[in-house]
Amino acid sequence: MALLCLIWGSTWIVIQGGLRDVPPITSAAARFVVAAIAMTAVAHFLHRREGGERPPWKLSLALGGLNFAASYGIVYWTETRLPSSLVSVLWSVFPMLTAISGHFFLPAERLRGRQWAGFAIGFLGVALLFATDLREIGAGAVPAGAILLVSPLVAVVGTTVLKREGARVSSVLVNRNGMWIGAALLCAAAWLSERDVPARWTGSAIASVLYLSLAGTVVTFSLYFWLLRRVPANRMSLVSYVTPAVALLLGGLVGREPITGWTLSGSALILGGVGLVVRR
C-alpha cells in the first residue's frame, strides 16, 4: 500500500513533465500502448496463479473505455491547463463519488448520515478551490476544472460495473483487456485531434511514458485490484488520503507549483470529507 501511494502520488507531476514535449492525448495513448504490452506479458505468467474467471467483454469495455481512455484522456488534457497538484486534489473526490454510486447501485454499500455529511464537506472543499485557486490561475481554469471532474465521474461508472459483476474475474486479465481497449481508443482520439500537432520524443518524454506505463499503470493497477480483494475497506481508504498529499508535496517541491493557504484549506476539506465517507 505504501508503494501504491508513493507511485500514484508521483504520477501527476510526471504526467505534466512529459506534456512539455508531447501533446496530451498522444502521450496518454503511448502510455497505454506500452502498458498493454507489458500487462500482456504479466498476465501470461500471473493469471493462473491469481485465479479467477476470464472477464466478459462488457467488463473489459467498461474498464478500458471509461477508467482508462476517457478518464485519463481528460486528466492529460487538463494538466496542460492546471497545476498537477491541483488536478490531483480535485480528482481525489473519486472515493466520495464511488460511495454515492455504491449507495444507489450496490445493495451492501448504503450510506449513513455521517457519510452524507462527509460528501457535503468534500463538496465544500471543491467549491472553495473553484472560488479561489482556479479563479486566480486565469479565465480558462474554471472550465478546465469543471471538465476535470468528469474524469473521476466516468471512472466511478466503470468501477461500479466492475464491483457489481466482476467479483470472480481475474484482475490481471481484466486489466490487460482494458488497457488494450483504452490504448486503441486513445490512439484513435490522438489521430483525430492531434495528428497535425508536433511531438518531440525527447529523453524526458520517453522516460515519462515508460515510468507512467510500467510503474504508474501496470504495477499500480495490478496492486490496487489485488489489494481490493484481500485488504479491508478501511485500510484501502488510506490510499485516498495519502496519494493527494504526496502529489501536493511533489508539486510544490519539484514542480515549483503554487501551494496557497486556500489550496491547503480546500484539500483538507476534501480529504476530511473522504474520511467521513469511507471510514467504517
Domain range enclosing 258: 2-278
Looking at the structure of the chain, the number of domains it has is 1
All 3 cell numbers of residue 256? 515549483
Q: pLDDT tens digits for the chain (280 residues)?
A: 889 989 999 999 999 999 999 999 999 999 999 999 999 988 887 777 767 788 899 999 999 999 999 999 999 999 999 999 899 999 988 888 888 888 787 777 777 888 888 888 988 999 999 989 898 888 889 999 999 999 999 999 998 888 888 878 888 888 899 999 999 999 999 999 999 999 999 999 999 999 999 999 888 877 887 787 677 655 676 787 788 888 888 988 888 888 889 899 998 998 888 888 776 5
CA distance 262 to 111: 29
Is residue 210 within a helix (H) or strand (E), and if so which, with residue range?
A: helix 203-210
Cell numbers given for 196:
497535425
Instruction: State the Cα–Cα distance between residues 280 and 275, nearest whole angstrom.
Output: 9
